[in-house]
Amino acid sequence: MIRGYQMKRIVVLLFLALFASTASNPALADFNSGKKAYDRGDFAVAAKLWRQAGQAGDAKAQTNLGVLYASGRGVEKDAEKSVFWYRKAALAGYPKGQYNLGLMYRSGRGVEKDETAAAGWFRKAAKQGLASAQYMLGLAHRYGRGAEKSNNRAASLIMKAAKTGYARAQYGLGRLYETGRGVAKDLTKAANWYRQAAEQGYGPAQYELGLAFKRGEGVEANIVEAYKWLALGAKRSRGKISERAKAEAREIAAALNEKQISQAMALVARWKPERL
């Protein structure tokens, strides 16, 4: 009986401690309430609550409010206000705020375009292990945009991001292995990285994997698999890549027999992206 009483007492104390920590930290309460509002699609309420939390110094709320201003959800779209809130979070050392501020400098939205400043913010976030920032800093080195042009540095950074499961980096690393930039050319490794990104639903990687199966580069040639990935890539890509994927898929379809067409269409219909 004593032991049961002590256990109940511990549970009550833990609950009170949790309640007290939330009550004593209104920024945390506002952030969490804002997240719930956002998840149910009430963006105006989310913006109000994240503004309160952001004014209290919550870097996550500052970043999320910046995203709302960038997209115009719950607030009037305003790139300069987006930069304002990203900068607050970035200066507080929050990696996603640093990354988002870097994107704004890279594109020149809400702030004068400055690729050197963009690379600098990507570097700060990358040092904290943010995969998307590692990837973008890798691209900066790859093309010499705001950072010293270096295929080796680009490959090192993109590989770090790819190993975390970040699909865009996996695709980028596949491109490096296919072309031999910063790494030894290896079509098998290229196809492997394309596959990892493709399985997550990244359209450009699906397109490249489809081409690999069509040509037998890094994988055994398989026209049905080629059609599957090209058809998926056409749906999940945009612009020129989507158009190229459609054209390649049509070319392959014309060469398939009835059985192969049925197999290919079934594979496309059954496919679902992997979730990490």
Domain boundary assignment for the chain = 186-276
Over residues 170-175, mean pLDDT: 98
Instruction: Note the pLDDT of residue 275.
Output: 74
Instruction: Reply yes or no on whether the pLDDT at 70 is more than 80.
Output: yes
Q: Which long-range contacts (CB under 8 A, 24 or more apart) does 105-110 make?
A: 106/136, 106/145, 106/146, 109/70, 109/79, 109/82, 109/83, 110/70, 110/78, 110/79, 110/80, 110/81, 110/82, 110/83
Instruction: Note the pLDDT of residue 30.
Output: 86
Condensed to tens digits (0 to 9), the pLDDT of residues 33-50 reads: 999 999 999 999 999 999
Percent of the chain with pLDDT over 70: 89
Instruction: Note the pLDDT of residue 136.
Output: 98
C-alpha separations of 148 from 152, 177, 178 in Å: 11, 21, 23
Question: Terminus-to-terminus CA distance in the chain, angstroms?
Answer: 45
Give 86 or 21, the one with higher predicted confidence.
86
Residue holding tokens 């998926």?
A: 232
Instruction: Note the pLDDT of residue 25.
Output: 58
Q: Mean pLDDT score of the chain, rounded to an integer?
A: 92
Instruction: Note the pLDDT of residue 3.
Output: 55
Q: At 1, is the pLDDT very low, low, confident or very high (cuts 50, 70, 90)?
A: very low
Over residues 109-134, mean pLDDT: 98
Least confident of 4-8, 91-95, 223-227: 4-8
Residue holding tokens 């990285």?
A: 193
Element (H, E) at 210: helix 203-215
Condensed to tens digits (0 to 9), the pLDDT of residues 146-167 reads: 999 999 999 999 999 999 999 9
Least confident of 4-8, 165-169, 263-267: 4-8
Over residues 192-217, mean pLDDT: 98
DSSP-derived secondary structure letter, 148? -
Structure tokens at 235: 């749906």
Instruction: Reply yes or no on whether the pLDDT at 21 is more than 50.
Output: no
How far is 193 from 210, CA to CA, in rounded Å?
13
How far is 161 from 135, CA to CA, in rounded Å?
6
User: Does the reported pTM lie above 0.75?
Assistant: yes
Q: At 9, is the pLDDT very low, low, confident or very high (cuts 50, 70, 90)?
A: low
What is the three-class DSSP state of 114?
coil
Give 23 or 129, the one with higher predicted confidence.
129
Instruction: Note the pLDDT of residue 236.
Output: 96
Give 276 or 145, the one with higher predicted confidence.
145
Instruction: Reply yes or no on whether the pLDDT at 97 is more than 90.
Output: yes
Q: Which long-range contacts (CB under 8 A, 24 or more apart) does 23-32 make?
A: 26/52, 26/53, 26/56, 27/52, 27/53, 27/56, 27/57, 27/58, 27/61, 28/53, 28/58, 30/56, 30/58, 30/61, 31/58, 31/60, 31/61, 31/64
CB 155 within 8 A of CB 181: yes
How many angstroms from the chain centroid is the CA of residue 175? 18
